[in-house]
Amino acid sequence: MSHSPVHRAADAPVKIHLEAGRTYAWCACGRSGDQPFCDGSHQGTGIDPVVFEAEVDGEVWLCMCKQTKTQPLCDGSHKNKPEK
Domain limits, the chain: 1-74
Phi and psi at residue 19, to the nearest 5°? -105, 130
Q: What are the distances in angstroms from CA 52 to CA 10, 11, 37, 56, 78? A: 21, 23, 11, 12, 22
pLDDT (tens digit, 9 = 90+) per residue, 35-81? 999 999 999 999 999 999 999 999 999 999 999 999 999 999 999 87
CA angle 7, 18, 14 (to 5 degrees): 35
pLDDT (tens digit, 9 = 90+) per residue, 3-28? 889 999 999 999 999 999 999 999 99
Give the Cβ contact number of residue 68 at 10 Å: 21
Q: What is the pTM of this model?
A: 0.91
User: Left, alpha or beta for 30 (phi > 0: left; psi -120 to 50: alpha)?
Assistant: left
